Structure 1
Amino acid sequence: MPNIVTLAEAKLFIRVLDDDEDTTIETMIAAATDAVCDVAQAWDGTGEPPARLKLAILSRVAIMFDTRNSLEPGIGEDRLLLPLRTVEL
Structure 2
Amino acid sequence: MTDLVTLDEAKEYARVDGNTDDALIAMLIEAASDAVADYADGWNGTGDVPARIKLAVLVRVAAAYDKRETLNEAEGEHTLVLPYRTLDL
TM-score, normalization by structure 1: 0.94
- Aligned-pair Cα RMSD in Å: 1.0
- Gaps in structure 2 of 5+ consecutive residues: none
Aligned to 1:35: 35
- How far did residue 73 of structure 1 move? 1.0
- How far did residue 4 of structure 1 move? 1.4
- How far did residue 2 of structure 1 move? 2.8
Aligned positions, number: 89
* Structure 1 residues 12-65: Cα deviation after superposition (integer angstroms, max 9, x where no partner): 111111011100000000011111111101111111111000000000000000
- How far did residue 81 of structure 1 move? 1.1
Aligned to 1:74: 74
- Gaps in structure 1 of 5+ consecutive residues: none
TM-score, normalization by structure 2: 0.94
Aligned to 2:62: 62
Distance in structure 1 (CA, Å) of the matches to 2:46 and 2:36: 16
Show structure 1 runs of 4+ deviating over 6 A: none
Distance in structure 1 (CA, Å) of the matches to 2:4 and 2:77: 16
